[in-house]
Each structure stands twice: as C-alpha cells, then as structure tokens.
Amino acid sequence: MSTAVIALEDVTKTKGPGVGAAWEPRIVAFFCNWCTYTASDLAGTARLTYDPNAPVIRVMCSGRVDPQFVLRALGEGADGVLIGGCHPGDCHYQEGNYKTLRRFKLLKKVLGQLGVEDERVRLEWISASEGDRVQHAINDMTNQLRRLGPFAQRGASHA
Amino acid sequence: MKTIELKMNGIEVEAEERTPLLKIAERLGIRIPTLCAHPLVEPYGVCRLCTVEVHQRNRVRMVTACNYPATNGIEVLTDTPRVRRDRRMIIEWFLARSGRLPLLQALAEEYGVTEPRFGLGDDPCILCGLCVRVCSDVVGANVLGFFNRGTTREVSTAYGETSEQCIACGACAYVCPTGCIEIQDEPALVRDALPLGPMTPIYIPTMQAVPHQPVIDHESCIHFKTGGCEVCASVCEPKAIDHKQADRVDQIDVGTILVATGFQAVDAKRVPQYGYGQYDNVFAALQIEHMVNASGPTNGQVVLKDGRTPESVGIIHCVGSRDKNTHEYCSRVCCMYSLKLAHLIHERSHAKIYNFYIDMRAPGKGYEEFYNRLLLEGVEFIRGRVAEVSDWAVTPGEKGKLLIRVEDTLAGFVRRIPVDMVVLSTGLEARSDAEAVRRLFNISCSSDGWFLERHPKLAPVDTFTDGVFIAGCAQGPKDIPDTVAQAGAAAAQAMSLIDRGAVELEAYTADIDETKCSGCQTCVPLCPFTAITFNREKKVSELNAALCKGCGTCVAACPSHAAEQHHFTDEQIFAEIEGVLVA
C-alpha cells in the first residue's frame, strides 16, 4: 500500500489549494455476478488489499448496466465509474458482455462530447480467477482519478 | 463356391472346390510334412516336402499339397512308396544345405535317410521364405527379401543393413521354423523403449476399465501402419475384432454433467537444471512407477540405462511445484508418492536413497507414520532445494555418477552427492486442453488452470453453470482418497438434481409490463435464450420466465422502462448508487 500513500501525498502537493488533503476520488463499480464480482470475492479471500474508493454494486451481468446508471452515478457525485464483466466469449449469459461493449462505446462518445474525461468511465474484463486484476484495476483507476481531481457535476443529471 | 467330392487315402470326402489339399488332409487328421506352409500366409510351394500323389482320369501326378487346388473326382495318396521316395530326395537336398538342424534330422530319421549322399551342410536357414512372406504379406513392413541366386541365395534386409522400416515386431522370428532369426534384446534398447503405457497395441486400458474390454492402439498397431497383419482378427474365434471401426460422434441428451478430466504431470524438461532428457539416468517419477510395476518392462526391477542395478538413488521433490518458474502451488501428492517410491526402490535394489525436500508434507491417515517408517528404514532426508544435477565429476570416485548439488539447510552447508539414478517427483498441472473444456461447459478456471468451484466451502463440487459438477484433479491437485470422496459428493449432487425431477427457476428473472411496452422490439434480439417473443396481436413483447436466466440485458436496453428485473430494478440500483455515494 505504500505506493498509494505516496501517490496521495503527490496529489496533495501538486493539486494545491481547493483540493484538501482529505479529498479522495469516489468510484462506483458495477461488477457482474459471475466473473468480476467473484474475482473481487477472491481478492478478499486472498487478502489482497486495494484502495477503498470503489464500493461495488452487484449486477447479474454487465449487460444489465444501463448507461443511465453511469450517468446517474456521475450526476450523484461519483468521480468515476468502473464496469467489470467477463472476458469476451466467457459470458455466463453467452453474450451479455458484447452488449455492454456496444453500449460502452456509444456512451464514451456521448460522455466525450459532454466534456467528461476519458479516464472517468472504464470497462474491464476480469474473470472469476483474476482477483489480482480487481486489485490492480481499482488501484490504477483510483490513482488516475487522484491525479485528475474531482468531477464537479453534482446535480447535473437532475436537470 | 461349389462342393466337390474326392478321395484321400481311400477316404471319401466333400470339400469346397479349389481348397488346397493340405487343408483337407489337416481336416482328416492326415499328417503331411511341410516346412514352408503356415496358416498366416498364402501357400508358396517352395519346400516341396508336402509332395503327394494325385490320380485323375488315369493320370498320376506328383503335386505339392499346400497349393494344389482340389477338383472333383480326384484321388489323393499321401504316403505311397513313390511319395516317400520323392520326399527322401527332397530331405537329402535339405540336409546338404542345413544338415545340422534337429528339425531336418528328425525328418531324415522318419523317412529313413541314413546316409545322405550330398553331405551335411550347416546353414541355419532353409530358405522356406516364411519370414519374407510374413514381413511383406502380414506385417506389410517389406523389410526382408531374398537376395542372390543358386547356392548363394539368402534372406536379408536391403544391402544387409538395419532397416528403418523394421518395426521390431518379431513376427519373422516367430514364424521361423529353424529359429535362425534372433530379435536383439539389448537392455539398452529395452530401456529406451520404456513406454509410459501399454506394452502391446491391444490392451485393456486399466484394471478398472468400464467396459472391461481390450482396445487397439492406432499408433502402435501394425495394421494401421502397414495395412497388413490382422493376426488378432484371424485368431479371434467370436470375430469380435473389426479394424474398420471408425471414430463416431454420438449425441446423448443428459440432465447433468460431471467434469472429471483430471490432470497431467508436469514435463520434467521444464526444470532444465535437473537434466531430464539430458542424462540417461534421470527419470520422471511416473517412469519409475512403471519400472517398479511387477508387470512392467523390467518385471519390477529397478535398472539403470546400462542394465545395472543402482547403488544410490536421489529423489528430488517439488519438481514443477512450489516454484515461481513453473507452478506456485503445492501438488499435494508428490511427498507421499516420493516416499512410496523411496520405499519400493530400496526394497527392489537395496540402494542408498536420498530424498531432497523443501518441506515434508504428510498430512492424512497413516501418512506421517509411513514417513517415520522410512526414517527407520534408513532412507536419508535432506532438507533443501536441489540446485542442479550434473555429470561433472571432480574426484575419480564420482566418475560415471550423477552429482546432485544441494544446500543442506539443516546442516547449514552445500553438499555434492554422487548417485547412480535421479528421480524427479514431478508435480500435477491442469491439462493442456482445460481451456477448451472450460469453454465447452461455460465454467471458470482459476489462474493456474484448475476448474473453479462455485464456492470453496459451500459449493465445492458445483460450478457456475447449473447442472455441471466437477470432481478430482480437474478441480485441483489431490490424492486418490480425496478424489474418490469428491467424486462421490459430485455424483450425489448430480443425483439430487435428477431425483428432484424439477428445476428451480432463478428468482431474479426479468418481466415486461405490457401496459408500458411500446412494441419497439429492441429487447427481442438481445435475449440469447429466446425468452422474449413479440406478440403481433397485442403489439407488445412477452417474456417467458421459464426460459429467462436473469441477465437483465433486455432491461438495460428497454427505452420505455417496460422491462424490469426482479431484485435488480432500476429503482433499486439507483438507490444503491445513491447509497454508496452518501458522503
């Protein structure tokens, strides 16, 4: 965890006033039940530690992730959204992750036009055995968002 | 085929037309001497010893019985003075070539050849050609042939050199009536041929095989190499052998599937510093297992490449296990099987045994006691991972030995131990085709390739796919008692599904609200289970809950919020988002 601590110190130094030492990015993670959620369970049983910035919302399939969920999360004050699904070809429901990928590409286009930075919304394929990849994805994204700073769009989606 | 009548030595007999006379004589129990006939090959008529007298329409002819076809009305006499005279002559010619053979001496005595006029030769081969014909007609290898003419005629391989086409089947030596063909049985060759598996092309796969029937190995069966042989089919009385049988794909409808595809041993060549494949006397544990088998290639004797019995043996544990370069996990069975091999090798060869281990892992009923027994038997245990095996002798005493370099972590110094034989206790790894099997059943693999159970404690034989269960080493390394226990559990789980006779549906299926559905049909092609159909009368989509698996892909796509997923409604998830974002 020493890397995370160093990164945090870097942020507090470089971001200057306005971003207090207490600020931490908040990520909403949507994990599919069969692969990524199981992988995060595995990360837990393997006692892999990662940043506590990404509380997980379990869905049965990454195909359940409505683009509205992402917009709502960003609107409600999340600094980033992480979607985790099975590797292509491994979907428990045969092809739900392909639908996710299709929606994700469109959503990224829309978000880009709205000025949302590319790093804020991320899609990861993590299989049930890859607990270390959950650890890496969350740590990596948290660090990126620390550098990027907060996403100040609170209430935007309520317009 | 027409049936004809003939007389043989006064006996009237019926036979199929064109049956060789020799076969009819055999049926009647009349002995006709022959040197070149054999049931496996076509008659050749080269030794002439089966000469008989045939009377046909007042004509008398001397013919060879082995290839003379029977015709209607002939009379055959097999033991007249004229026949005996002719055979005596033939025997004399044979004696001139190979007079020392007991086979010919017996014939000479039988026919009263007391003073051979042409002397006694000492060529062991009588040029009957059985070996040549078996090699070409039965085996199909075409290695042997006749060379030269007249007195220098001989049987040989091409240019008298060892033929690459020879498959060492031994058929030529088997049929040779004089025993002049020897199959070389050098220990070195036997050792090279030590196969990990059946010793013959026809075998029963395991002692417990179900069904308990022999199979033919395509790879080593002569028939599939040369198209010939089929000796097995000709000797099988119930005619159970069919070489034309081909692989067949059967489709069987089942309700549950038990995946128990097992493991494979780590290839010892992946740990190159131990010299497997480089030094002759470095073995993988399974090879030793084969060697100590009483019905194995060495009849249970432990031998080195040159046929000697080893005086010292080093057993290296954890080859391909507990090693970042191969597999990090412990293979669980190697410690115990290494101890077993140590015990067996010691018992068979009285060699000094060294075990090189990292940790001795002997959990389980009676295992620790066995370890203690080996300590008392004088097997040496050295705690430390072996650095390398080499043949680099420093002192004259080390010459011809394998040198094991190891840090003895209990004694606290590096040792060089010369041994005659090294056994590598190779670990277990997931089968190389595990990925294909995993995809076939839509189940998961852990990072080291073992199939993943649904839950390590609560659902240890279930998988993420309903109705598919796993057992044995496909799930992870384990010994036979554990495998049997797990297999029993998996079978019971599978049975419980069958017994129930009904399948429980998922609770979190989707649902389409007809009053909200606009009939856009966006959801219909999204469903991989064809649970959604479009009702053309009502102009709404309808969902069949029995087919729905509850992925929620349609729900995420529904533009009019008509589709909802039980327990994962939009409201619930929005509430969750709000909940996790509460500052």
Kindly report the CATH number assigned to the domain that includes residue B370.
3.50.50.60
Buried-exposed string B105-114: b where 16+ CB fall within 10 A, e elsewhere: bebbeebebe
For strand B352-357 and strand B386-390, is the pairing parallel, antiparallel, or unpaired?
unpaired
Each residue's pLDDT tens digit, B322-332: 999 999 999 99
Query: Chain B contact for A68, CB < 8 A?
Result: yes
The DSSP-derived string for A92-126 is TTSSHHHHHHHHHHHHHHHHHHTT--GGGEEEEE-
Local confidence band at B546 (pLDDT 50, 70, 90 cut-offs) = confident
The DSSP-derived string for A45-99 is HTT----TT--EEEES-GGG--HHHHHHHHHTT-SEEEEEEPPTT--TTSSHHHH
Query: Chain B contact for A38, CB < 8 A?
Result: yes
Which helix or strand (DSSP H or E) is residue A36 part of?
A: helix A36-45
CA nearest to B557 within chain A: A66
Mutate to test the interface with A, among B573, B574, B578 (most CBs of A within 10 A): B573
- The reply to whether residue B444 touches residue A129, judged by beta carbons under 8 angstroms, is yes
Q: Alpha-carbon Rg of chain B, whole angstroms?
A: 37
Q: Which pLDDT score is estimated for B505?
A: 80
Each residue's pLDDT tens digit, B550-568: 999 999 999 999 999 999 9
Same domain, B423 and B283: yes
CA nearest to B526 within chain A: A99
The DSSP-derived string for B266-285 is PPGGGSGGG-BTTBTTEEEH
If one counts the domains in chain B, the total is: 4
- The reply to whether residue B580 touches residue A65, judged by beta carbons under 8 angstroms, is no
Same domain, B493 and B520: no
* Chain B partners within 8 Å of A72 (Cβ): 574, 577
CB pairs under 8 A between A and B: 99
- Among B79, B110, B138, where does a domain finish? B79
- CATH fold of A23-149: Rossmann fold (3.40.50)
Same domain, B422 and B448: no
Each residue's pLDDT tens digit, B53-71: 999 988 999 999 999 999 9
Query: Chain B contact for A133, CB < 8 A?
Result: no
Same domain, B333 and B410: yes
CA distance B295 to B482: 27
Kindly report the CATH number assigned to the domain that includes residue B541.
3.30.70.20
Which helix or strand (DSSP H or E) is residue A137 part of?
A: helix A131-148
Mutate to test the interface with A, among B328, B444, B566, B574 (most CBs of A within 10 A): B444
* Chain B partners within 8 Å of A73 (Cβ): 577, 581
Same domain, B290 and B384: yes
Report pTM. 0.67
- The reply to whether residue A94 touches residue B447, judged by beta carbons under 8 angstroms, is no
Same domain, B303 and B391: yes
Q: Which pLDDT score is estimated for B346?
A: 95
Query: Chain B contact for A145, CB < 8 A?
Result: no
Q: Alpha-carbon Rg of chain A, whole angstroms?
A: 16
Each residue's pLDDT tens digit, B248-302: 999 999 989 999 999 999 999 999 999 999 999 999 999 999 889 887 778 888 9
Please provide residue B86's backbone torsions phi and psi, each rounded to the nearest 5 degrees. Answer: -60, -40
* Chain B partners within 8 Å of A94 (Cβ): 442, 528-529
- Among B429, B463, B479, where does a domain finish? B429
* Chain B partners within 8 Å of A127 (Cβ): 444-445
Tally of CA atoms within 13 A in the half-sphere of B422 that contains its CB = 30
Same domain, B272 and B412: yes
Of A35, A57, A99, nearest to B577 by CB-CB distance is A57
* Chain B partners within 8 Å of A83 (Cβ): none
- The residue assigned the tokens 């038990």 is B258
Each residue's pLDDT tens digit, B568-578: 999 999 999 99
Stretch B177-206: mean pLDDT, rounded?
66
- Among B465, B480, B500, where does a domain finish? B500
Task: Return left, alpha or beta for B472; rule: phi > 0 is left, psi -120 to 50 is alpha, else beta.
Answer: left
Tally of CA atoms within 13 A in the half-sphere of B399 that contains its CB = 3
Q: Which pLDDT score is estimated for B230?
A: 82
* Chain B partners within 8 Å of A130 (Cβ): 447
| Nearest chain B CA: its distance from A93 CA (Å) | 6
Q: Where are the domains of chain A?
A: 23-149
B470 found inside a domain: yes
Please provide residue B400's backbone torsions phi and psi, each rounded to the nearest 5 degrees. Answer: 80, 0
| Nearest chain B CA: its distance from A7 CA (Å) | 22
Query: Chain B contact for A96, CB < 8 A?
Result: yes
Say whether pLDDT at A77 is over 80: yes
**Residues with Cβ within 8 Å of residue B172, at least 6 apart in sequence:** B130, B131, B134, B135, B144, B181
Same domain, B491 and B541: no
Residue B136's beta-bridge partner residues?
A: none
Q: Which pLDDT score is estimated for B543?
A: 93
Residue B479 lies in domain:
444-500
Most confident of A92-101, B166-175, B219-228: A92-101
* Interfacial residues of B (vs A; Cβ cutoff 8 Å): 439, 442, 444-447, 452, 456, 464-465, 508, 526, 528-529, 549-553, 555-557, 565, 568, 570, 573-574, 576-578, 580-581, 583
Same domain, B339 and B485: no
| Nearest chain A CA: its distance from B579 CA (Å) | 10
DSSP secondary structure code for residue B136 in this structure: I
CA distance B250 to B91: 61
Same domain, B327 and B412: yes
Is residue A150 within 8 Å of residue A19, measured between CB atoms? yes
Stretch A25-48: mean pLDDT, rounded?
94
DSSP secondary structure code for residue B54 in this structure: E
Tally of CA atoms within 13 A in the half-sphere of B13 that contains its CB = 23
